[in-house]
Structures are given as C-alpha cells and as structure tokens.
C-alpha cells in the first residue's frame, strides 16, 4: 500500500494588528523565507500547508495556502492544521502585541489618544506545543526561527528551549543580505541538544532545502 505523504505546516509573513480598519501594527516580513521553505518541502514530497499573513507572493505549486491577517487568526489556523501534521515550521514574524481595542470604523484624529493601550498576543509555537503536541500529536516536530539584531545565538538557544523546539534557525536581521525582504539569508541552526551549524550566505530556497534535509 502507498504510504500517505508526511505533512508539514509552515507559517510565513507578518501579522497585522488593527486599531481601526485603516491602521495597524506590523513589521517588514515579506513571507519570502516561509514561501521558500514551502517550495523546498514540495520538492521533498511533503504535503504542504502554508499559513500566510498579508504578503504579495505567489503560492508555490502544490501548496495549500491559508491566508490570515492577525496573530490570533494565524494561531487558530496553526492549531487546526498542526493536529494532522508531522512537522510545524514557524517562520512568521508574529506581532507579540495588539491594540487593546479595534474600532469598527476609521477613527478621527481627535478620537485617538497619544498613548496606545496594547495587550499580548498568543505565542503560536507555545500554543501548538501545549494544545496539539502535548495533547494527542506527540510525534509533531516543532521548528522555529529567531529574528535577532546582533549576535543571535544566546536568545535563539533560549527560544529553542522555552518553545519546545527540535531546532531553531537564527538570523541577524541587521546583517547584509539577511533577514526581512532579502532573497538571501545567513543563518545559524541550533538544535535542542546544543549543536550548532552556521551556514554561509545563500538563497532562502537553499536554506529551505537544508532545513527540509534536517526534518
């Protein structure tokens, strides 16, 4: 009998946290890193679901895409899709905070305060770990990214531990040719045992292929 394909779920792009229909908090992620991994995963024969924040990229061939806007929407889709997944890879730059209130119509300037009250968003990796991996899908492998400014190693190791990851892909988003928007990236891969491998500057697709070799 033919074996069903292994399933990988990937988050990509930014999230937007609206304070009214025309204003939001966000970040410069373009989704290129996550889309490149999705392409590499299809090449490897995985069934691929890509949960994408607002980005302007074409869906790679053979990928199921779910579009979301906010962190809470991304989290709900991630939990749902991870239930039947073998690997969950979080490349998305998720907004950690959102405005406490979102108005249904455009706010007038004099209706707004100079102080914006924020509330925490869920941590998607931690939520998938707690509600999917520890509650039924115990074989699920979690992979994260760490966007840092400066030496990414210490922070990435902490995130790897705290989020229950197999490994984490750390990038210094201030380095030339790396991070947000670039077609290339320079990363260090740290695993849960403390091993680490620094990769040279290469295309995001080449990094995606390395990551898929590891999973």
Name the site residues for ligand PMT (rule: CB under 6 A): 11, 13, 29-33, 71, 90-94, 96, 121, 123-125, 144-147, 159, 171, 173, 179-181
* Catalytic residue list contains 129: no
Q: How far apart are CA 153 and CA 172, in angstroms?
A: 9
* Residues forming beta bridges with residue 188, ordered by sequence position: 170, 198
Closest distance to ligand PMT from the beta carbon of 43 (Å): 18
- The answer for residues whose C-beta is within 8 angstroms of residue 154's C-beta and 6 or more apart is none
* Closer to ligand PMT by Cβ: residue 46 or 88: 88
Closest distance to ligand PMT from the beta carbon of 64 (Å): 19
Selected catalytic residue, list 27, 137, 185, 195: 27
- Chain centroid, CA 51 distance in Å: 9
Write out the two tokens for 127: 């939520």
Closest distance to ligand PMT from the beta carbon of 61 (Å): 19
Q: What Cα–Cα distance (Å) separates residue 190 from each residue in 47, 87, 149, 166?
A: 25, 17, 17, 9
Burial 133-171 (b: 16+ CB within 10 A, else e): beeebeebbbbbbbbbeeebbebbbebbeebbbbbbbbb
Closest distance to ligand PMT from the beta carbon of 215 (Å): 14
- The answer for residues whose C-beta is within 8 angstroms of residue 150's C-beta and 6 or more apart is 172, 174
* Residues forming beta bridges with residue 169, ordered by sequence position: 145, 189
Q: Scan for tokens 């405005």, then name that residue.
A: 99
* Closer to ligand PMT by Cβ: residue 11 or 49: 11
Closest distance to ligand PMT from the beta carbon of 165 (Å): 8
Q: Would you please indicate which residues are annotated as catalytic (active-site) residues?
A: 27
């Amino acid at each position: 009998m033919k074996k069903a394909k292994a399933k990988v779920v990937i988050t990509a792009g930014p999230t937007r946290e609206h304070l009214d229909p025309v204003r939001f908090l966000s970040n410069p992620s373009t989704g290129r890193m996550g889309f490149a991994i999705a392409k590499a995963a299809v090449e490897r024969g995985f069934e691929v679901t890509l949960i994408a924040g607002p980005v302007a990229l074409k869906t790679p061939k053979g990928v199921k895409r779910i579009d979301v806007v906010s962190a809470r929407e991304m989290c709900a889709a991630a939990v749902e899709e991870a239930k039947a997944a073998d690997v969950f890879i979080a490349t998305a730059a998720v907004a950690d905070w959102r405005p406490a209130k979102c108005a249904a119509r455009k706010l007038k300037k004099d209706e707004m305060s100079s102080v914006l009250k924020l509330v925490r968003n869920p941590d998607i990796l931690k939520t998938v770990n707690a509600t999917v991996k520890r509650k039924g899908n115990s074989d699920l492998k979690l992979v994260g990214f760490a966007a840092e400014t400066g030496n990414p190693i210490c922070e990435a190791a902490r995130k790897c531990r705290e989020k229950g990851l197999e490994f984490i892909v750390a990038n210094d988003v201030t380095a030339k040719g790396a991070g947000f928007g670039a077609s290339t990236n320079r990363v260090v891969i740290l695993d849960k045992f403390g091993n680490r491998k620094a990769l040279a500057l290469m295309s995001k697709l080449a990094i995606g292929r390395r990551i898929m070799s590891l999973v």
